[in-house]
Structure 1
Amino acid sequence: MAQSNFDRRRINGPDEAYRPVFDLDEEEEPWKTGTPRRGRGAKDIRPIFLTTGLINQANGSAYIETEKTKIACAVYGPRQSKNTAYNENGRLNVEVKFAPFSCTRRRVPIRDAEDRAVSVQMQQALVSAVRLELLPKSTLDIFITVIENDGIEGCIASGSVAASAALADAGVEMLGLVASCSAAVVGGEIWLDPTEAEGKISSGTLILSGMPALDTVTSVWQSGNMTPEQTFECMDACQERYTDVHAVIAQALLEKAKSL
């Protein structure tokens, strides 16, 4: 007789299962106003690992890792749009999906409002750099999968960087490579590339994207409470730092070209 609670859509575990035991570090004391940042300086960003060409089925792909933030990106196209009106400029579609295990709290596989909001932010950061006027009635599809998330600000910045590298890997003509950096105001101090824990204690966050080679800003997203002076200070700090991110993207593409 078949089990009544058996679900054929899932891989069920054994009847006798035990939770895995991890050696967790001791809980850190909560951050107090006036104390310095733990682990790195206020204007330091997390180390970046970036590589391209990992997904063979895609026209271009990239994988980025910044400590606990891990993102894979695939680009398909350009391909002709079907059942759409003729347009002199092509379309750039960005779809972001969080893996169910990517966050501290398990996410449902269905896309929600946060997925769409992140997709819109990344699309606006990239659309100004792609020469869509050379792709009439065509579509570029970018699919971004967040494997592990350690702060939504860093996720958006890293996803934009990975998408820019994937577009270049696909041979899409662009005005320049898009780099991105995030900042947070914590206790009146500017911290670059905040983690999820740092974002929770901040009063406001900002994400700046642009093309450093052309000294052009493509997108600015700000949330929380910031004074105008703090906003401009965050933008200046991000603009100084994302030139280093631009060098990482260029080096990853150069290594890929040498390997070919």
Structure 2
Amino acid sequence: MMDAAISVRGIEKSFKDLHVLRGVDFDVAPGSIFALLGSNGAGKTTLVRILSTLLKADAGTAAVAGFGVAEAPDDVRRSISLTGQFAAVDEVLSGRENLVLVARLRHLSKPRAIADELLARFSLADAADRKAGTYSGGMRRRLDIAMSLIGDPPVIFLDEPTTGLDPQARIEVWQTVQQLAKGGTTVLLTTQYLDEAEHLADRIAILHEGTIIQNGTLAELKQLLPPARVEYVEKQPSLEEVFLALVGDTGKESR
């Protein structure tokens, strides 16, 4: 796909005798959410580290935002943001101070204005001057993603961004990811949660034993199985629906 935001061909990676990636191929369209779904140890994080130039592949090629990962790593780094499994915020600093610090490190003009815009965009303005250590898990993750967007990278990697979060915080992160894609950012999301991939992704690739065994839209993947038998049963609420109904509206968080 010539206009792909991310293009991966035949990527392989081994650690001594452990073959983690065995020839991975996929493309990600600009402005879309692409979910890389796999169990623990499937190689998701290894692949993200290769695409973000933190690790060299043993074989294969990859391009991000039109730049070869091996040939133009500096250009790739300027075009991406990477958010790992654990929020990389400074808990001693306030939310605003975290954002201002990153903007200054990137030598951007008007760092405070950049911080204020992101605080408003991620619904953190009311907590801007509180220490990040007092934030809830969802707020801390939103701040982490906001920090990673300073400089407007066209591609963002989210490596299992909801690991360890409660149901409310997960939904907050999901809403944030959807907003990113609506704004034109390309999102590659790794996850082991099937409902997360189903809820968010435009396309889903299943990584198993080092290779992509299926890649398609949710509708295309569902067609791989025979149609379910139609039965009329009383619908029962899910545990998540019960939890959210009991604790209230996630959009009114003030922690």
TM-score, normalised to structure 1's length? 0.27
Answer with 1 or 2: which has the greater Rg. 1
Structure with the higher fraction of residues in helix conformation: 2
TM-score w.r.t. length of structure 2: 0.28
